[in-house]
Amino acid sequence: MKLLEHEAKAILRDRGVPVPPTGGVIREARQLSGALKRAGRGPWVLKAQVLAGGRGKAGGVKLAKTPAAAKAAAQAILGMTLISPQTGPKGVLVREVLVDQATDIGREIYFSIVLDRKEGRPAIIASSEGGVEIERLAHERPEAILREPIDPIRGVEDYQARRIGFALGLTPEQIGPFVKLVKLVARVFIENDANLVEVNPLVVTKKGELIALDAKMSTDDNALFRHPDQAKREDLEATALDKEAKKVGINYIELDGNIGCLVNGAGLAMATMDTVSLAGGRPANFLDVGGGATADQVTRAFQILLKDKAVKAVLVNIFGGIMKCTTIAEGVITATKRTGMKLPLIVRLEGTQVEEGKALLAKSGLPMIQADSLWDAAQKAVASVKSLPAENGHAKRGNK
Ligand code: GDP
Ligand code: MN
């Protein structure tokens, strides 16, 4: 799960990492004066709280010297659609603004701890070229990036933090606080089951103090059960349909295509999406009804699929393993009738009692297109949406 800047900075602050004094988050301009007071003296910085970086260049971070300037900044940022290279072309709506006391920046450093999947351990990544996107730096000047693997048992050793500190060009007076900061961030990383804690920039103020000016944090969803606070928090990336599906126990992720896919098993669902793409189509979703694809579950899945107005055809690809194909066929027939589905429906069944299942579908008299293989099904699904009147292209989720 991705955390917002203010959430990540609150966690860092609680662990003792220096962050700017804050007035907290506001959702309306009238909450601003209270936030300015809480942040203490100006100047202030107002920052859009969205799950994407590159906010500075996109107009989502504004410095304000006076309360009047802060008000103008809050009004400009609240409700704006922020478009950065990380949001996709449609951008994201800004609902919250963080009000911090502005920091007097001497220099900006890039600092993060990330789970290095290849090495199977966390690693410190740092660069004296802070503020810029690390991906771009990695591409253009990889030699400017410092790396230090962290032993999962021993944690960060002082000498490792010192080595990075000196390589970053910190002064001897700054090394002590830097080593402390590195160890605290590492502790936050481990305690929260994070796979990323990024401080970009880590600032050295004109007075020589270290301050985490920005923070990005992402935690492992599989460890949510250990973090009730995180589990309670709303998943900001989920759409309304994603949430509805979760409630009824269906594994569903909305995508930007127009072929609704109803599949049992996550692996088969992935293969179905790949095959649809290979056939020249675009899946509208990832949907795994789970192992027990009962008539009820298939009906629920249909209902969710059909609520997505972008869906122009439905492709059912179900493998009868434990479940018999006859049961699945009955489920598809019941669901089609119950939902009054009018869209082209392509069904591919395989597995136990497949012939009997297909016969049931044929006998139902419902207008569905049967397919013999996944490739056949994908091609038929793509053909059925291509024969529809052309529509303007759209993208519900540009960056997925
Ligand atoms: P991002 O663009 O989404 O990564 O947002 P950041 O919080 O990293 O801010 C972007 C840039 O705005 C920083 O690299 C700074 O150069 C500038 N900035 C942000 N906060 C302050 C501040 O308190 N004081 C000053 N002088 N600049 C700031
Ligand atoms: Mn940043």
> Per-block average pLDDT, block size 10, for the chain (400 residues)?
95 98 97 97 96 92 97 97 87 95 97 95 94 83 94 95 97 98 97 96 97 96 89 78 82 91 92 96 90 74 89 92 84 88 92 93 92 96 81 43
Q: Sign of the C-alpha dihedral, residues 183, 188, 189, 191?
A: positive
Nearest Cα to 342, choosing from 379, 376, 305, 317?
305
CATH code for the part of the protein at 240-395: 3.40.50.261
Whole-number pLDDT of residue 392: 45
CA of 317 to the centre of ligand 1 (A): 48
CA atoms within 13 A on the CB side of 133: 13
Point out the residues that are catalytic: 110, 198
Identify the CATH class of 1-19+104-237.
alpha beta
Whole-number pLDDT of residue 289: 84
Tell me which ligand sits closest to the C-alpha of residue 87: 1
Whole-number pLDDT of residue 145: 94
Residues of the chain with CATH 3.40.50.261: 240-395
Whole-number pLDDT of residue 234: 76
Whole-number pLDDT of residue 293: 61
Question: Which residue is closest in CA terms to ligand 1's atom 25?
Answer: 103
CA of 110 to the centre of ligand 1 (A): 12
CA distance 60 to 50: 9
Whole-number pLDDT of residue 320: 85
Whole-number pLDDT of residue 168: 97
Whole-number pLDDT of residue 395: 44
Question: Which residue is closest in CA terms to ligand 1's atom 12?
Answer: 56
CA of 301 to the centre of ligand 1 (A): 44
Residues of the chain with CATH 3.30.470.20: 1-19+104-237
CA distance 217 to 114: 10
Cβ partners under 8 Å of residue 323, min gap 6: 264, 291, 292, 293, 351, 352
Tell me which ligand sits closest to the C-alpha of residue 85: 1
DSSP 325-381: HHHHHHHHHHHHHHHT--S-EEEEEEETTHHHHHHHHHHT---EEEESSHHHHHHHH
- The helix/strand count (H/E) of the chain reads as 13, 19
Whole-number pLDDT of residue 390: 52
Six token digits for residue 248? 């009824």
Ligand 1 site-directed mutation target among 77, 92, 213, 216, most atoms within 8 Å of CB: 213
Task: Give how far the C-alpha of residue 82 lies from the chain's centroid of Cα atoms, to the nearest Å.
Answer: 16
- Which CATH superfamily is 21-102 part of? ATP-grasp fold, A domain (3.30.1490.20)
Whole-number pLDDT of residue 340: 87
Ligand 1 site-directed mutation target among 55, 86, 214, 217, most atoms within 8 Å of CB: 214
Residues of the chain with CATH 3.30.1490.20: 21-102
- The three-class DSSP label of residue 313 is strand
pTM higher than the cut 0.85: no
Whole-number pLDDT of residue 232: 80
